[in-house]
Amino acid sequence: MSDINFKEVLLKPIFKGNPVTVLVLGICSSLAVTVQLKGALVMALSVTIVTGLSSFVVSIIRNSIPNRIRIIVQLVVVALMVILVDQILKAYSYSISKSLSVYVGLIITNCIVMGRIEAYALGNKPIPSLLDGLANGAGYGLILVVLAFFREILGSGTLFGYRIIPQAFYDAGYMDNGLVILPPMALILLGLIVWIQRSIQKDLQEK
């Protein structure tokens, strides 16, 4: 196990093995929290930290975990990390924690976190597990940020709350697209991203 390719561990989840577009995990939250870029960024950061640290901790104790309660132990570790992130957000970034509402708590049900622990952290050393968790969180976050970028600029005409589309456009009859704000359009946008990725990476296409 000593010849782990760190480059592959770090880069594969970002594009070639992206947890959202390739493994199609964590769809629910990526539709729910991508209305505003700021919220999406905080969510991305939170998930990255949670996946990274949970993988790391589980990997440290992986040899001592009784096999029969393996999933429960993983859940406890993930829950610990999620509550820590939630508490810290409540203390230092209250308005964002309010706008993310239940979705921070729901990181625990995000399949990416448990998926990476089961698939990677249980069989690998702590440092590669940490990197794997961080990279998968970042891959998820990347899709979130791309989605939020299009949704905020098309739906509200702003980015990070600052007006991007000038007032002159609105005066000339341009209108924000209300549909982009709603989750169905987020799913369509996500579908477009999957389409673009598969047309670049031909080996992902199913025959």
Near other proteins by CB under 8 A, which window of 9-17, 43-51, 80-88, 129-137?
80-88
Residue 77 in tokens? 């570790």
Q: Is residue 114 a contact partner of residue 125, using CB atoms and an 8 Å limit?
A: no
CA distance 176 to 156: 6
- Contacts with 12 (C-beta within 8 Å, 6 or more apart), sequence order: 135
Q: Applying CB under 8 A, does 161 fall inside the site for other proteins?
A: yes
Nearest distance, CB of residue 63 and other proteins, angstroms: 8
CA distance 8 to 13: 9
Tell me the CA distances in angstroms from 202 to 7, 186, 194, 198, 205, one per residue in order.
22, 24, 12, 6, 6
Which is nearer to other proteins, 2 or 63 (by Cβ)? 63
Which is nearer to other proteins, 159 or 193 (by Cβ)? 159
Near other proteins by CB under 8 A, which window of 10-18, 70-78, 168-176, 183-191?
70-78
Nearest to 141 by CA among 8, 16, 37: 37
Q: Applying CB under 8 A, does 164 fall inside the site for other proteins?
A: no
Q: Applying CB under 8 A, does 160 fall inside the site for other proteins?
A: no
Q: Applying CB under 8 A, does 71 fall inside the site for other proteins?
A: no
80-87: Cβ within 8 A, 24+ apart? 81/49, 81/50, 81/53, 81/54, 81/57, 82/50, 82/107, 82/108, 85/46, 85/49, 85/50
Residue 129 in tokens? 């597990």
* From candidates 7, 64, 171, 207, binder to other proteins by CB under 8 A: 64
Near other proteins by CB under 8 A, which window of 58-66, 117-125, 135-143, 151-159?
58-66
* From candidates 5, 8, 24, 69, binder to other proteins by CB under 8 A: 69
* From candidates 95, 167, 199, 201, binder to other proteins by CB under 8 A: 95
Size of the site for other proteins (CB under 8 A): 23
Q: Applying CB under 8 A, does 172 fall inside the site for other proteins?
A: no
Residues that bind other proteins (CB under 8 A): 63-69, 72-73, 76-77, 79-80, 83-84, 87-88, 90-92, 94-95, 161
